[in-house]
Amino acid sequence: MIRLTTATTLQNAIAKARTVKPFVRVNCFGSYTVTNRKTGATYTVTCEKRDGERFADCSCNAGTRGQACYHVAAAAGAHIVIAAERATTTASNC
Ligand SMILES: [Zn+2]
């Protein structure tokens, strides 16, 4: 479980995501499949809000150790956009 606090927590991960440019597929709100286009490695990232704090989980080695990885950074970017859209629509969870 990775606690998403400030932007600095994800700074390195975001920088890596910008370099790697992984493909993010939305499974449903809060669940994403992140694929490294080069290696084809695929990981599942989940995002959730608990007690007003944001948490994320990733199935990769770093993510399972609670380290912010670029998969989380990439998925969090998509998650924020979707969350903003959901605020104005009535889209439901899957
Ligand atoms: Zn990861």
Q: Quick check: 61 and 2 in contact, CB under 8 A?
A: no
- Residue 93 — very low, low, confident or very high, per pLDDT cuts 50/70/90? low
- Summarised one tens digit per residue, pLDDT across range 8-54 is 778 999 999 999 999 999 999 999 999 999 999 999 999 998 888 88
| Ligand 1 centroid – CA 85 distance (Å) | 25
pTM tops 0.75, yes or no: yes
Distance 59 CA to ligand 1 centre (A): 6
Average pLDDT rounded to a whole number, residues 73-94: 81
Whether the predicted pLDDT of 94 surpasses 70: no
Helices marked H in 22-69: 61-64
The tokens of 87 are what? 């605020």
Distance (angstroms) between ligand 1 centre and the Cα of 77 equals 14
Per-residue burial over 34-70, b if 16 or more Cβ lie within 10 Å, else e, is: bbbeeeeeebbbbbeeeeeebbbbbebebbeeeebbb
